[in-house]
Structure 1
Amino acid sequence: MENLPLYIAATFGITVLLTIWLFSSATHFAKPMLVFLIVLTLAQSALGLSGFYNNVNTMTARFPMLVIPLTVFCTALFLTAKGRTFIDSLNIKTLTILHIIRIPVEIILLWLFVHQAIPQAMTFEGENFDILSGLTAPVIYYLGFIKKQLNKTVLIIWNVTCILLLLNVVVSAVLSLPARFQNFGFEQPNIAVGYFPFLLLPAILVPLVLFANAASIRQLIYNKSINLKNSK
């Protein structure tokens, strides 16, 4: 991983910052959430820089420590009254445009594959079609919220599709981790997620993107004030 060109890590770092900024914007820059994301990002980064996640013999066992903290936190928001109130206060337009970050993420994954840090299956040259979510996000944003030519059903279907596309690559990422239950990518396992800054993909980006989709679906179902075509 030390032989990776600097531009790959730099591009990923900018993508992480953009994601946190867009998500914070959707929360109306709620200070507690922003502080939590910054602290978690710094903590996971420190662990990554210490080498905690990059040992191929323990990477799979420690991988849940990357995913669980933010995933559990986001899930808990749906399970509490205050959490649901917070979710319903989010700006759904910003939650939608946030998915443009999936475009640079997919480009970075391709670069990582070229430099033998992940298997081809995790890229859009393999079995990962998540870039479609990023490419369609501006279209959905424009037609749905600016031109108001899409109804809630279309937006719900789009968000569900985005979740499925992301879960598809998550499965590929987990099943190509070195050792343990590795099912493919034996010639080129998924080692990138054990190194800083790429460990922030499962630690920060994936949970936030999934949460953005799930929060949007909740709002589209329960928030009657969202003004879309033929919305009732």
Structure 2
Amino acid sequence: MTILFCGFVVLMVAVVIGLSARYLDRRSASVFAAGLLVWLLYVGCIGYFGVIRNVTMRPPGPVFLFLPVIALLVLFIVRTRSTAGAHLAQAFPLWILLGTQVFRVGVELFLHQLWHAGLVPKMLTFSGANVDIYVGATAPLIAWVATRGGMGRRVALVWNGVGLLILANIVARAVLTAPGPLHLVHTEVPNLMIGTFPFMFIPGFFVPLAVVLHVLAIRAVGGAMKRAAPAS
């Protein structure tokens, strides 16, 4: 499973960098690719050398993963509210921003296997309280619906909002079931995935990727609806 997961990470990194190279200008794509690779190297190092799973250090190891992720996402969301953010969202076809979320099906299948391996509690899988797999499974359909006009864009907007709420729910459960000072929800096994190499790329890469795609899609749909309003 470890080799398969590493292959999945490499595949998705290649897809993200490839799409950036295709739809962004050369300078922006190069900066993004370099930044992404540096980030993945950082996450890989703190996972491989056991920093994340060390909850006895001060600050606890998970802080070195979660704090940068939160800071980067907040910065990204703030930036998307600017004119530059609007241009970024419009640089990609809407169906790509929506359809790429299908990768979440793969993530959920790996989480299910991690449950069988005793690294995550059942509630973090689709056999428990995690319905995120349905967001990934419906992504291609929503990508098609969004191209069908105004009603399709409204459906896509609602779908993105629901997807973010579902993601927030599972992230909160993942944090509250992980070892450390925030381990407030006690389950049959703690969430050891966060500090286990290479599966810490789930919170360190796949979760931020899902958030970024949702935010860009919402920005793109909102822009398209505003542009369509005067015409109607």
The TM-score normalised by the length of structure 1 is 0.84
**Could you say which residue in structure 2 is the equivalent of 1:107?**
109
> Could you tell me which of 10, 31, 47 is aligned with 1:17?
10
**Could you say which residue in structure 2 is the equivalent of 1:4?**
none
**Could you say which residue in structure 2 is the equivalent of 1:85?**
87
The TM-score normalised by the length of structure 2 is 0.84
Change (3 A) 1:226 1:13: farther
**Could you say which residue in structure 1 is the equivalent of 2:207?**
206
Q: Which amino acid in the other structure matches residue 132 of structure 2? A: D
Q: Is the 8 A contact 1:56 1:191 kept in 2?
A: no
**The 10-residue stretch of structure 1 (204-213 or 23-32) with the greater mean CA deviation from structure 2:** 23-32
The offset of 1:53, in angstroms, is: 1.3
The offset of 1:10, in angstroms, is: 2.2
**Could you say which residue in structure 2 is the equivalent of 1:66?**
65
Change (3 A) 1:180 1:50: same
**Could you say which residue in structure 2 is the equivalent of 1:183?**
184
Q: Which amino acid in the other structure matches residue 127 of structure 1? A: A
Q: Is the 8 A contact 2:176 2:184 kept in 1?
A: yes
Change (3 A) 1:144 1:38: same
Change (3 A) 1:182 1:90: same
- Distance (Å, rounded) in 2 between the aligned partners of 1:108 and 1:148: 35
Q: Which amino acid in the other structure matches residue 86 of structure 1? A: L
Give RMSD over aligned pairs: 2.6
> Could you tell me which of 128, 135, 138 is aligned with 1:136?
138
**The 10-residue stretch of structure 1 (107-116 or 78-87) with the greater mean CA deviation from structure 2:** 78-87
Q: Which amino acid in the other structure matches residue 209 of structure 2? A: L
| Larger RCO (alpha carbons 8 Å, 6+ apart) | 1
After TM superposition, the structure 1 = structure 2 runs for residues 146-225 of structure 1, keeping only pairs within 5 Å, are 150-223=151-224
Q: Which amino acid in the other structure matches residue 3 of structure 2? A: A
Change (3 A) 1:183 1:79: closer
- Distance (Å, rounded) in 2 between the aligned partners of 1:59 and 1:14: 33
Change (3 A) 1:220 1:39: same
Change (3 A) 1:151 1:57: same
Q: Which structure 1 residue ranges, 5 or more long, are not aligned?
A: 1-7
- Distance (Å, rounded) in 2 between the aligned partners of 1:93 and 1:213: 12
Q: Is the 8 A contact 1:96 1:212 kept in 2?
A: yes
Q: Is the 8 A contact 1:23 1:95 kept in 2?
A: no
The offset of 1:79, in angstroms, is: 2.5
**The 10-residue stretch of structure 1 (17-26 or 169-178) with the greater mean CA deviation from structure 2:** 17-26
Identity of paired residues, percent?
25
- Distance (Å, rounded) in 2 between the aligned partners of 1:170 and 1:182: 13
Q: Deviations over 1:95-140 (max 9, x none)?
A: 1111111111111111111111011110011110000001101111
Number of positions where the alignment pairs a residue of Structure 1 with one of Structure 2: 221
**Could you say which residue in structure 1 is the equivalent of 2:45?**
46
Which structure shows the higher helix fraction? 2
Q: Is the 8 A contact 2:94 2:143 kept in 1?
A: no
Change (3 A) 1:222 1:142: closer
Q: Is the 8 A contact 1:22 1:98 kept in 2?
A: no
Q: Is the 8 A contact 1:176 1:184 kept in 2?
A: yes
- Distance (Å, rounded) in 1 between the aligned partners of 2:146 and 2:37: 31
What secondary structure, in the 3-state scheme, does the structure 2 residue paired with 1:151 have? helix
The offset of 1:59, in angstroms, is: 10
Q: Deviations over 1:53-82 (max 9, x none)?
A: 123545993223213334433432343443
